[in-house]
A = this chain, B = another copy of it.
Amino acid sequence: MKLRIQLGLNVQEIRRSRGISQEALAHAADIDRGYVGKIENAKHAATIDVIEAIAKALDTEPMELLKPRC
């Protein structure tokens, strides 16, 4: 469960740093907007395919999305 929270916070942080809305990220990653919210709030267990699509949409390495939070 901890990794879900890490993933969610990393996606949110990178998305915001890029000035991208949840809606724009969902569109770019070809996933449902509500789903982006559930991932950022650790309410849903994203698959490796969704993680890949989000990383591509955020123009970041997938590994960065699993980076431990300091």
A interface with B by C-beta (< 8 Å): 1-4, 7, 45-49, 51-52, 55, 61-63, 66-68
Q: Would A45 and B45 count as touching, CB distance under 8 A? A: no
> 4 smallest A-B Cβ distances: which pairs?
A3-B52, A45-B47, A45-B49, A63-B66
CB-nearest residue of chain B to A47: B45
User: Can you list 18 A-B contacts (CB < 8 A)?
Assistant: A1-B49, A1-B52, A3-B48, A3-B49, A3-B51, A3-B52, A3-B55, A3-B62, A4-B49, A45-B47, A45-B48, A46-B47, A47-B47, A47-B48, A51-B66, A61-B68, A62-B66, A63-B63
Q: How far is B48's CA from A55's CA once the two chains are assembled, in angstroms?
A: 14
